[in-house]
Amino acid sequence: MKKTIYLLTIILLIATYILCGCTGQGESKTEHSFVRLTLEEGEFIIELYPEIAPKSVALFLHCVESGYYNDKVFHRTIPGLIQGGSADGFGVGGCGKTVEGEFTENGFTNDLKHERGVISMARTSDPNSASGQFFIMTDTQSYLDGKYATFGKVVEGIELADKIAAMPTRGFNMDELTTKPVIQKAEVLQDYTPSGV
């Protein structure tokens, strides 16, 4: 009888543990953070999806919280996206940390498509070289799906991306922005509620 009560108690505790979401790994695995990037031209509010790409989200949050993104620029635009976050302002370098590429061609399941508003990690030809550079989609570009780690979406301010994408460009590939919009401040929003919620 004691053994039966003991087993029932254990089962009840395990069930309670699971139902409460007490996995021992913290709620941050699935809790969505919101980040604001403030530029002179306007601001982006980005919702991050750790359940889709946890390492990419952690890297992006590290870059925000460490102040790395402050005074970094959007340096590049090509059809469908704008890119920023490089160390030198011209597309080279990152924050000094790298993460594994969380995308299909690198053996990771990530079904978030490169559609308008989605944010994705830039990288070199090395699939595990993402180091803080990112791009924001202004239009669907399905050729990027499965090749780059998507990890969030702009929930406010996508019109700013359109404005940046329309700015004059120069360079051999005509993709370098002539005037590079500066991220004046990057911050995690503690009390943000998406509109419509």
The reported pLDDT for the residue numbered 196 is 59
pLDDT, residue 8, reads 41
pLDDT given for residue 197 in this prediction? 52
Residue 6: per-residue pLDDT: 47
Per-residue pLDDT, 29: 55
Q: What pLDDT is attached to residue 26?
A: 36
What's the pTM?
0.84
Q: What is the pLDDT of residue 27?
A: 38
Name residues of the chain where pLDDT drops below 50.
4-28
Q: Which residues pair with 186 in a beta bridge?
A: 37
